[in-house]
């Protein structure tokens, strides 16, 4: 039986939110106790998007720029993030995660990876191979730009 693109898309819409809910829950449960969930989300976003502006973080989080500015100020004061002037526009700033912030995120990532590995450990080797091939295919299809697609292939 051959699946159609529509059937695959429908399954993606059903399964991805379930998987993401589990990943988000696990990551958040492993965050540093001195980080709120919004602070943790901002840290994750900036880690994935080095050099982000306050506006980009605000848009991602659905918050106002002044709220994000206060949130980022706390992260900077606690040593999780840095703020640098934009090289060509002094009115803009670029955000980056510090080594302390990266260590917190790496700890969360490792714990979540162990959690997911445990969930998948009940599967047979051929089922794991199907998942791995599927994830690699999805990465290629959903890569955000042609440069990323070329690197993935």
Torsion on CA atoms 57, 61, 64, 68, rounded to nearest 10: -50
Do residues 134 and 117 both lie within one domain? no
Mapped to the 3 state alphabet, what secondary structure does 62-117 carry? CCCHHHHHHHHHHHHHCCCEEEEECCCCCCCEEEEECHHHHHHHHHHHHHHHHHHH
> What is residue 126's predicted lDDT score, i.e. its pLDDT?
96
> What is residue 145's predicted lDDT score, i.e. its pLDDT?
58
Do residues 91 and 131 both lie within one domain? no
Do residues 70 and 130 both lie within one domain? no
> What is residue 1's predicted lDDT score, i.e. its pLDDT?
63
> What is residue 28's predicted lDDT score, i.e. its pLDDT?
83
Residues 40, 58: contact at Cβ < 8 Å? no
Do residues 57 and 92 both lie within one domain? yes
Do residues 111 and 44 both lie within one domain? yes
Do residues 77 and 11 both lie within one domain? yes
Do residues 98 and 141 both lie within one domain? no
Q: How many domains does the chain have?
A: 2
Over residues 81-101, the pLDDT tens digits come to 999 887 787 777 899 999 999
Do residues 51 and 82 both lie within one domain? yes
Q: How far apart are CA 74 and CA 60, in angstroms?
A: 18
Q: Which domain holds residue 64?
A: 5-122
Do residues 116 and 127 both lie within one domain? no
pTM: 0.74
Do residues 68 and 101 both lie within one domain? yes
Which residues of the chain carry a pLDDT beneath 50? Answer: 146-153
| Of 109, 92, 121, residue with least CA distance to 44 | 109
Mapped to the 3 state alphabet, what secondary structure does 12-33 carry? HHHHHHHHHHHHHHHHHHCCCC
The CATH number linked to 44 is 1.10.10.10
> What is residue 24's predicted lDDT score, i.e. its pLDDT?
87
């Amino acid at each position: 039986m051959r699946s159609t693109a529509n059937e695959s898309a429908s399954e993606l819409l059903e399964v991805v939110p379930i998987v993401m809910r589990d990943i988000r829950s696990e990551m958040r449960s492993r965050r540093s106790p001195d980080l709120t969930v919004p602070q943790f989300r901002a840290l994750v976003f900036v880690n994935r998007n080095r050099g982000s502006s306050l506006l980009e973080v605000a848009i991602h989080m659905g918050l106002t720029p002044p709220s994000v500015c206060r949130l980022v100020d706390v992260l900077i004061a606690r040593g999780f993030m840095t703020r640098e002037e934009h090289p060509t526009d002094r009115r803009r700033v670029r955000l980056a995660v510090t080594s302390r912030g990266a260590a917190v995120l790496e700890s969360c990532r490792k714990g979540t990876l162990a959690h997911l590995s445990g969930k998948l450990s009940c599967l047979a080797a051929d089922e794991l191979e199907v998942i791995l091939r599927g994830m690699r295919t999805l990465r290629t299809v959903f890569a955000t730009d042609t440069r990323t697609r070329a690197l993935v292939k």
